[in-house]
Structures are given as C-alpha cells and as structure tokens.
Chain A
Amino acid sequence: MQLTSLGLVRGIIGYFVGLVIGMAVVVISRLALGMSAWDQEAGWVGGIIFAMIGFMWAVGSLTDWFKWTRGVETPFHHGPPVGKPAWTRYFSVDYNHKVIGIQYGVTGFLLLILGGSFALVFRAELADSGISFLQPGTYNTFLSMHAWVALASILLGVGGMANYLVPLMIGAEDMAFPRLNAFAYWINVPAIITLMISMLFGWDSGWTAYPPLSLRGPVGYQMVFWAIFGIGLSSILGSLNLIVTMLTMRPKGMTLFRMPIFCWAIFATSIIQLTATQLIGLAFLMLSFERSLGMPFFNPLYNALGENIGGQPLLFQHLFWFYSHPAVYVFVLPGLGVISELLPVFARKPLFGYRWIALSSLAIALVGFLVWGHHMFTSGYGEYLRVVFMISTLLVAVPTGVKFFSWLGTLWGGRLTFPTPMLFTLGAISVFLIGGLSGPILATAATDLFLHDSYFVVGHFHATIFGGFVFPFFAAIYYWYPKITGRMYNETLGKIHFWLMTPGFWVMSLAQMTAGTMGMRRRIADYDPALGVEPVHLLITIAGFVIAFSILLMIYNLFTSAEIGALAGNNPWRSRSPEWQIPSPVPEHSYARPITVVGEPYDYGLAGSTYVAMAGAGDD
C-alpha cells in the first residue's frame, strides 16, 4: 500500500504545497504593486489561506462537489476502501457518520493529551516561585497554546459524541449531509497544523487575544486567528448538519419529546454553535486584517488634535465574549446530556422530569446569549452595564439548578449500580457542582472586581469544564466503548482511573480558588513568594500530575481491551436506547430496517413497555 493513498498524507502534502503557492502569490502581487517583496504578515496570511484550501482539496473532501459541478454522478461507497486494510478509512475522507464520529473523537482525545501536556510543562514551572526552566516568553506561549488546544479538543470531542451518537439514537442511516460532515471534520486538521506552526513564532495573549496586545506580538498570532477561523467553520457546518438531521430524519413515532435526552442537549448546543461562532470568526478576521492590511478596527489612533480616529479596544472584547460565553455552554451542554442519558440506565428508573431537563438545555443556551458582559466587569464599560449583566448572569443558575435537582430525583429510589461510566457520571455531577456554585460569586460584580483575572476564575472554569465536559466525555467513552469495539474495557483499571482522577481534581480546583483569594493573579510566569501561595501551587501541580497519570491508565485500558476484553454482546447495560438493540460493533448500515418508536425513552421499571420496535431487524 502506498502512503499517498492515505488522505491525511495527501492532505499534508497539499497543505505545504498550498503554503508555498500562497506565499508566492503574495510576493508576486506585492512586486506588481511596487512594494518590497516580503512582508511576513501578508506572506503568512496568504500562505495559510492557500495551505488550508490545499489540504482540503488534496485530502479529497471537495472531490464529489467538483464532480457535481460537472454533472458527474457520485454514488456512495459503503464500507472500507476496496483493496486496502480496513483501518485506512479512518485516515481518509469517509462519509459514514460512525467513522467521522471516531475521527472527531480520537482527534479530540489526542488534542486533550497535547493540551494537557502543555499545562504540565508550565505547572512544573509554577510548582515553586522563581523562574526555573521556562522563560516568560515561552511560558506565555505554552499558556496560550494550552488554552486553545484544550478548547479545540473539547469542540472536537463534542463533535465526536454528536456525530457518532445522534444518528444512531434517532435510528437514522447517516447524517443529513454526509459530505458536509466529512468537510466539517477535515477542516479541523489543517487548522490544527496551522495552530502548531504558531508555536515556532510564539504568541502571548492567552486565548482571549485582546488587542492592542494581539496586534503587536509576533506573526504567530496570524496563525492563531486563521486556525480558530477554520475550527469555527467546522463548528458552524457541523451544527447545521446536526440540526437538520434531528429535525428531518427522526423515525416514525419519535416526537421531539421522545428523542433521547442527549439529542436535546446537542440540539441546544448546535443552536449556539451555528450562530455565536460567527462572531469570533469575524472578530479574529478583523484582528488579522488590522495586522496585515492596517485597517484600524481596534487600536486607537490619534490625529493632530488628539482625537481618536482609530478603533476601540473594548469593541473586540464585546465581540469575543459574545461568542465565548455561549461557547462555554457548547462545552458543557453535551456533557450534561450524557449525565442525563446515563443516570436512568444505572438507576433503572425513568429520567426525572424529562421535559424540564430538555427545556432547561434550551433555556441555558438562550440566556447564555445575554450574559457575555460578566467577563468585562472591570473593563471600563458603562457602570450600569455591570448591573444588567450581573442580573442576567445570575439567571443562568435557575435552569442549571433544575438539572441538578432532576438528577437527584432520578437517583432517588433506584436500584443503583456503579460500573466505571456511572462513577464518572457521579464524579461529573460533583465537579460541575463546584464549578457551577463558584459562578454566582463571580456574577455579583462587586466580588468579581476582586476575583477577576485571579486564580479563583481559573478554579471556576476548570471545574465547570471538567465537570461539564471531561468527566462526562470519559463516562461516554467507557459507556459506549463496548458498542464501538464490541468488547468490554477493564473494570478494575477503570475504577482506579476514577479514584485517582476525581479526588485529584477536587484538590486541584479548590486549591486554585484558594490561591485566587490569596491574591494570585492568573497568567503569570512567576509569583511573589510573599503572597504565601507557594505550598498551594505545589499542591496544584501534584494534583495535576496525578490527573495526567490516571488518564494514561485510561489510554492503556482502551488500547489493550480492544484486543483482550470480554465480548460485550448487544446490550451489556440493558439500555432501552435503539443503538443498544443492534449488534456491537455497529454494522456498516446501523439499522437493517427503519425503526419505529412505540414508547417513552426512559420507562425503566414499567413492565412490558419498550421504546423502539425493530421490525425484525438487527442481527443480520
């Protein structure tokens, strides 16, 4: 087999060919305009744009669309590529949503490890005061890369869960637009390559990229802007696809209020991704244009009279947070959906208040659009805005509370068992509780004036993101692993993983909050030992390494169990959901015949009830 028969390899070659062509185009245009040949801002921007297109073209994600323009038929090819080993389909364009789901999920997991490793590097530096091995410039680059790589990993992890599960859960053959689905996955890859290249030059603003700082630093910023633009494009196209799929491809009998609850979470998430993402794409493009073309959007510029004829730095902060606050709900709503999905299975009880949980996801998504200003309490915008955003932010606590109490109602009176996925679900609730409860203290503006940009905020958002994404993501991996591979993971290793990671995380986030109240600023390469935070920092670093070690155990477990794990059978968890009524691993065409929904999804304990009728399908 030739290496270049892998789409990924061709794509990478296409990327670098495109990079060279793009740079050449810029050089030639500049010469034609009588300018100096090389300008690194313009050169790199041209290069990156062509490189991304080059990748997408060479990987083959545009091929069918080109054929359509010429009126050529493009029938679907099902199954692994002919004449090549089955694994190769994961490295090339493939339209099957299960393949794309795995591609998303695995890429997301790899990025999680990479982003985590960046954090371990600078956590080691922070373990004691004094600069030991990371110079402040490198420190800032690692810190900033940690953030965006971790956020990308979350977006891809969410994409993985959504793409794999949503069509299965609604009994659909595939997503509504399979080619768009493949495009939305693959655009992430050149974006991530671009993000990695930024490290060669460095950048130092943190993920928020506030101007004017982000307008001044090295050219690495340009790569960040375009990388995030690419990942954002993926979010927009992917969520569009998911919304259409859920609205138009449900089987007979599945009303919206009979969808598995995870689908509701993805529905709410997709609304945010489809709309809010455009704002950050726009904001980052404006930064790029201000840098390379000198358009004064954000940087103030004074004329001879001292009047500002330039831009407004606060404008960027508004645009940025108008996406980035709703985005935090993109990170957590799917995870909260996983919690709601798993609890009834392991409690053998109906989901308490299905409709309330479903609608609370929508409520969180919608209120989430009105609160962005709580990230700007200290920014110097109008005083009265602080009050407005304080109230709207506090309101988010209401639908969030509905979820917690409904989960308790689901557990109450069940027959609870505690395999690894259930443990991670419960761990997620405990961690998200820490994160959620530390939210209102930041929402009342007065306390935030003290806590903003301190380690308290770092503790807050790590707890929300771990409780709302990482723990549920791990729960989902352990839970659906038998469905994906056909084999069980190792339960003992899974439990060790849980019992290392969960206490490790509690210690880490509480210690971060402690450091914050003691006056530790966030995003600093070194701190003053006079603050008295040194022991706290050591604790945070140790906890961080414990968490990292436990994740290594998980990786080992997942790899070895795929070979030696016990055969799982169709439905090891005795779930009512349709994807568990078909063989594991799921066949190429998931459902041999269309399914019909004949009952409620979570009627555990109601004798004689079923959720789906399979019409004699399944085992063939």
Chain B
Amino acid sequence: MLKLPQSSTDRKHFVIVGALVFIATIALGFFLLAILPVKAQHSVQAEPIRWLFQLHVWLIAFLFALVVVFMLYALIVFRKRKDDDSEGEHFEGNATLEVIWTVIPLILVIVFSFIGFQTLRDVTRGGDEVQVEAVGFQWAWTFNYPNGVVSQEMVLPVNKPALISLRATDVVHSFWVVEWGPKQDLVPGMTTHLHITPTKVGEFQIVCAELCGLSHWNMVAKVRVVPEDEYIAWMNQKLAEQNIQMASR
C-alpha cells in the first residue's frame, strides 16, 4: 500500500486526487451521456441543442468528479483514527484559493454565456418557406395553412425551413415535438413563433407541454414530415376536398 503523507498540504495528496479526478471525469462523462439520451435529433434546430447539452455534460462530469473525489478522499484519509484525540489542523481559510475559485467559475460563466448566446441564435433562427399556424385549445390542435387549408394533422415537407405561428384560444399551452427539440408556449392574446426545419421523414407526435387542465396529458396531434412532392400532392388533395365541401354547402 501507498504510504500517505500526514500533512494535509503535502503535494502528494493533490497529485493522487488530480489523477483520480481525471479518471472519474472520463468515466462519469460517458455514464451521463449514456443515461441522458437527448431525443431531439430530427431537425436543424435540434443539432445545436444536442451539442450544447453534451458540452454541459462534460463540464458537469468534471465538476462533479472534482467535488466528490476530493470529498471521498478527505473522508477516507482524514478520518479520525482510533485512540487519536487530537483536533484537526488549524487553518481558517485561504484568500488566494477563494479568489481562484471565484474567478475561474466567473470565466466559465462568461464563456458559457457567449456559447449559450450563439447556440440560442442558431436554435431560434430559420426561414419561412413553409408557413403554418397551429391553434391550441383545450385539448386538441388544428393547423391552418396560408392557402386556407385546415387540417387536424400537421404535414411539412422535409428539409424546408418552416415558420410555425402559434395561437391559443383559451389557456396557455405549449407546442412540442420531442424529436425536433425546442418548444414554444401558446399564450392567449398574443401570437408566438417557432422556426423548425425538419430533417427526417416520418410521423411524430405534437404534444402540449404546459399543464392546461383535465386532458392535458392527452392533448396530442400527429405531424407527418414527407418528401416535397408528397407534400404538394397532399396539399392539392386537401384543397380539392375543401372546395368540394364548400361547393356542396
């Protein structure tokens, strides 16, 4: 067994702890990435979210390892031995250390503010080649297209920047497609917006993410992301159906 030094300020302690923190950071980072699978991956806006999330995970792994390894090491090495009735070493603090662990986090905050700002810009940016209005009410959704098409499901062409306008008629709701990433509240009395460029063809669920009463849990609708020609075909068919309905009225 390694013989540990008695004095708490001996270099040797810090070398050992440093090595352990390094190992623990790597192990913890991979563990956290495994248990925190970010499901947002099927839109242009989801990418920066996942990237920033994983960056955070590594920082978290490091800080967690730093505190916990130091703590566990202290608990083992500085535990009171039997028949030792002495008190702990007498030091009341260290201004240099306090300044260091104030300034370094401050720098990290500035860095993360900057990164966070850029990521936010990427996540909220997008074009409006496709436009659709989603209206939420207790407890369902309808979707209005600029050409007058009204639908119970949302259909979007893949890889086209879409601008989704959001409107609530009764209480606050929130529009969320997990696979796309960002969500946006719908607030009575105002219109809110969400930019999404879906990158994967398929069927997803739109869910309400803001508690809105009795059937909130079941306030869901379908969104289909389809190739562009299919989208145009669907739109034409919808238009035709609606015209027939209008005519027969």
Alpha-carbon separation in the docked complex, A443 to B112 (Å): 10
Residue of A nearest to B39 (CB): A519
- Which stretch in B102-110, B141-149, B151-159, B230-238 binds the other chain? B102-110
> Taking the complex as formed, is B199 at the interface, i.e. its CB lies under 8 A from any CB of chain A?
no
Over the window 518-531 of chain A, the binary record of Cβ atoms lying under 8 Å from chain B Cβ atoms (1 yes, 0 no) is 11010111111001
| Residues of B with C-beta under 8 A to A415 | 78-80, 84, 86-88
Residue of B nearest to A453 (CB): B209
| Residues of A with C-beta under 8 A to B56 | 440-441, 444, 447
| Residues of B with C-beta under 8 A to A565 | none
| Residues of B with C-beta under 8 A to A518 | 37, 39
B90 near A414 (CB under 8 angstroms)? no
B71 near A429 (CB under 8 angstroms)? yes
- Which stretch in A89-97, A193-201, A349-357 binds the other chain? A349-357
| Residues of B with C-beta under 8 A to A434 | 64
Q: Which of B90, B97, B102, B189 contacts A605 (CB 8 A)?
A: B90
A-B CB contacts (within 8 Å), total count: 278
Beyond A444-B115, A446-B52, A605-B90, is A204–B214 a contact (Cβ under 8 Å)? yes
| Residues of A with C-beta under 8 A to B87 | 348-349, 415, 604-605
* Least distance between A356 CB and chain B CB atoms (Å): 5
Over the window 91-117 of chain B, the binary record of Cβ atoms lying under 8 Å from chain A Cβ atoms (1 yes, 0 no) is 111100110011001101100110111
Alpha-carbon separation in the docked complex, A521 to B89 (Å): 50
Beyond A414-B88, A606-B90, is A212–B170 a contact (Cβ under 8 Å)? yes
* Least distance between A183 CB and chain B CB atoms (Å): 35
- Which stretch in B128-136, B171-179, B221-229, B239-247 binds the other chain? B171-179
> Taking the complex as formed, is A206 at the interface, i.e. its CB lies under 8 A from any CB of chain B?
yes
Q: How many positions in chain B have a CB within 8 Å of any CB in the partner chain?
A: 87
Alpha-carbon separation in the docked complex, A411 to B13 (Å): 14
Beta-carbon contacts under 8 Å, A346-367 to B: 347-356
> Taking the complex as formed, is A552 at the interface, i.e. its CB lies under 8 A from any CB of chain B?
no
* Least distance between B135 CB and chain A CB atoms (Å): 15
| Residues of A with C-beta under 8 A to B117 | 387, 390
Beyond A411-B78, A452-B183, A517-B39, is A441–B60 a contact (Cβ under 8 Å)? yes
> Taking the complex as formed, is A401 at the interface, i.e. its CB lies under 8 A from any CB of chain B?
yes
Alpha-carbon separation in the docked complex, A600 to B93 (Å): 13
> Taking the complex as formed, is B24 at the interface, i.e. its CB lies under 8 A from any CB of chain A?
no
Over the window 207-227 of chain A, the binary record of Cβ atoms lying under 8 Å from chain B Cβ atoms (1 yes, 0 no) is 010111100110000000000
* Least distance between B185 CB and chain A CB atoms (Å): 5
> Taking the complex as formed, is A610 at the interface, i.e. its CB lies under 8 A from any CB of chain B?
no
Over the window 43-54 of chain B, the binary record of Cβ atoms lying under 8 Å from chain A Cβ atoms (1 yes, 0 no) is 000101100110
> Taking the complex as formed, is A535 at the interface, i.e. its CB lies under 8 A from any CB of chain B?
no
> Taking the complex as formed, is B120 at the interface, i.e. its CB lies under 8 A from any CB of chain A?
yes
B53 near A353 (CB under 8 angstroms)? no
| Residues of A with C-beta under 8 A to B52 | 444, 446-447
Beyond A402-B101, A408-B74, A444-B112, is A378–B90 a contact (Cβ under 8 Å)? no
B36 near A300 (CB under 8 angstroms)? no
Residues of A within 8 A of B (CB): 136-137, 140, 204-206, 208, 210-213, 216-217, 299-300, 308, 310, 312-314, 347-356, 378-380, 383, 386-387, 390-391, 394-395, 397-398, 401-402, 404-406, 408-409, 411-418, 426, 429-430, 433-434, 437-438, 440-441, 443-447, 449-450, 452-454, 510, 513-514, 517-519, 521, 523-528, 531, 600, 602-606
